[in-house]
Amino acid sequence: MGSVVNMEAKASSVLSTTDMQDILATLPPVEYAFAYGSGALKQEGYEQTARPSAMPMLDLVVCVDDARAWHAANLDSNPHHYSSICRAMGAPGTARLQENYGARMLYTTMVPIPIGPHTGRLMKYGMLYNTMVPIPIGPHAGRLMKYGVISTGDLVTDLTQWRWLYAAGRMHKPVQTLRPPQCSAAGGGGGGVARAVEGNLASAVVAALLLLPERFSAQELFLKIAGLSAQELFSKIAGLSYAGDIRMGIAENPHKVSNIVSGSFDAFKTLYRDALQAMPQVTSRAHDLSTFAQDASPAARASLVERLPSAVLQGRHRAILLAAARSASPNQALAKRLAQIVGASSRWQGLKGVVSAGMRKSFLYALAKVRKGWV
């Protein structure tokens, strides 16, 4: 469908925005889409290479109003993206799998990138994730992508409530928007999604402040946002959306969070500038927003707790977190709560991945993750 090719991407692990939009055009129309990860944004630890098979997988997330109709169209145009189980279930069963289990995403993985010099590069897309899909044409044959599909209402729920802290967690880091939120009935229209995105960033700052001391640097703040939480006992780089994630223990690059922050530090500063400036209890100690101080009094921390997303405060957790905020070290209670949310959603997503990708692709994808974690 898309034929415009950026030849500069030939030697880079990062695809151009034009190429990624052309890839998106090979899927049915979506309400909102973004790319994330080392295939879309610069990260430390990924060298330029001319070999597509050595390049990182491209990661996409697409948001749709009607999951059943979207999967029906995609099964018709891209049936090879789906596992045999999903093809047998058809669009109704695939949509139910996406919208009723785990983090409400369905991923398709190991899909060949379908345009230009990146043909064969893998992508993944999701919250029903289609993974390891080869990019199918040009000198990049062998490069893959994965893409995740999520319904508009579920995306807004996760961004505003942190019910699964899955899509919301991915959007704590800089992403490359490929299609801005469109006006639609689901999720309050494009404006509703845009407001939810902004609210998610503000919530990330609130949570990070509760995990940080009175004085901190921008680097420390972004490491907290991108990755610091329940795993703080054994790692200084495990973050809000990675706390409790089953992948971070054995099947993920152990330097993932620090690589993300180091490679996109300026993008982090731009992304969080407004949210930080809107925090009255935070003061910048440098004109370039490199160091900060916060009011760490019990009253100020209790005020921050009240601003956490509703799923974090659900049930008895509000009282627990408020009590912890008045103590000397409130961060452990919050880290534990975030780990509970992320752990539950990541386990279900792992099980869904076996169905949406199939046993073979799931094994190959997991093996690649394990290698990344141990190399």
Task: Summarize pLDDT for 5-49 with one digit per residue, the tens.
Answer: 343 434 467 888 998 998 999 999 999 999 998 888 877 665 555
Residue-level pLDDT at 236: 29
59 strand-pairing partners: 36, 146
- CA atoms 112, 115, 118, 124: torsion sign: negative
**Whole-angstrom distance, CA of residue 164 vs CA of residue 111:** 25
Q: Note the pLDDT tens digit of each residue in 63-121.
A: 999 999 999 999 999 999 998 899 999 999 999 999 998 889 988 887 888 765 555 55
Residue-level pLDDT at 148: 93
Angle at 83 between CA 345 and CA 256, to 5 degrees: 45
Residue-level pLDDT at 63: 97
- Token pair for 70: 């979207």
- CA atoms 170, 172, 174, 175: torsion sign: positive
Angle at 173 between CA 74 and CA 218, to 5 degrees: 175
Is the pTM value of this prediction over 0.75? yes
Residue segments in the chain with a per-residue pLDDT below the cut of 50: 1-11, 125-126, 137-139, 228-239, 246, 249-251, 370, 373-375
- CA atoms 179, 184, 186, 190: torsion sign: positive
